């Protein structure tokens, strides 16, 4: 096709002097469609005009920059989607571990253990007091004998 243009099958001079547009329209399919490879235009390389896929291609860069500038992120929309996903997990996964809920469970268990220990200690303290008084009484009655320590549960 390019050979037709170079060989002169498409005449440079038309019969009609007003038909320079006709020449361009006839030449365009032969010339533009056959452009392949690198073209140097004032130190700007344009590669593969038919399929701009090279990152160094000026046309492709402009297109990409336009597309990047057109991207807008709606923060509220993203946050809503994240909460939707979390809600989905809570509903559909039985063994889902919710970290704040897990922390609450852990603190409540710690409190329960502390309360249990203190309540047991509170029960044992009066018994120990009773044993101490019994030992004092025995030592007062029999100062020579060694006291027997009996702790009953």
At residue 105, the pLDDT reads 81
Percentage of the chain beyond pLDDT 90 is 2
Positive or negative: CA dihedral 8, 10, 16, 18: negative
Q: Which of 52, 67, 91 is the last residue of a domain?
A: 52
The answer to whether 59 touches 52, Cβ cutoff 8 Å, is: yes
Q: How many domains does the chain have?
A: 2
Q: Are residues 40 and 91 in the same domain?
A: no
Mean pLDDT, range 103-121, rounded to an integer: 78
Q: Are residues 39 and 94 in the same domain?
A: no
The answer to whether 153 touches 134, Cβ cutoff 8 Å, is: no
Q: How confident is the model over 27-62, as pLDDT tens digits?
A: 666 655 555 555 555 566 655 555 555 555 556 677
The answer to whether 34 touches 50, Cβ cutoff 8 Å, is: no
At residue 69, the pLDDT reads 79
The answer to whether 30 touches 1, Cβ cutoff 8 Å, is: yes
- 44 lies in which domain range? 2-52
Any idea how long the chain is? 153
Q: Are residues 36 and 83 in the same domain?
A: no
Q: Are residues 81 and 46 in the same domain?
A: no
Q: Are residues 132 and 87 in the same domain?
A: yes
At residue 131, the pLDDT reads 82
Q: Are residues 40 and 81 in the same domain?
A: no
- The C-alpha torsion from 128 through 129 and 131 to 135, rounded to 10°, is 130
Higher per-residue pLDDT: 32 or 101: 101
Answer whether residue 40 is part of any domain: yes
The answer to whether 41 touches 47, Cβ cutoff 8 Å, is: no
At residue 56, the pLDDT reads 57
Q: How confident is the model over 61-92, as pLDDT tens digits?
A: 777 777 777 777 778 888 889 999 888 887 87
Answer whether residue 15 is part of any domain: yes
């Amino acid at each position: 096709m390019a050979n037709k243009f170079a060989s002169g099958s498409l005449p440079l001079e038309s019969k009609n002097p007003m038909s320079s547009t006709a020449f361009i329209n006839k030449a365009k399919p032969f010339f533009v469609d056959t452009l392949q490879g690198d073209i140097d235009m004032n130190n700007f390389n344009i590669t593969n005009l038919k399929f701009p896929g090279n990152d160094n291609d000026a046309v492709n860069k402009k297109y990409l920059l336009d597309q990047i500038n057109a991207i807008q992120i709606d923060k509220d929309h993203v946050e809503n989607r994240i909460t939707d996903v979390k809600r989905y997990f809570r509903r559909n996964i039985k063994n889902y571990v919710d970290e704040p809920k897990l922390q609450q469970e852990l603190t409540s268990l710690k409190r329960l253990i502390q309360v249990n220990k203190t309540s047991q200690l509170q029960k044992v303290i009066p018994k120990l007091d009773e044993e101490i008084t019994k030992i004092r009484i025995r030592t007062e009655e029999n100062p020579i004998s060694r006291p027997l320590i009996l702790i009953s549960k």
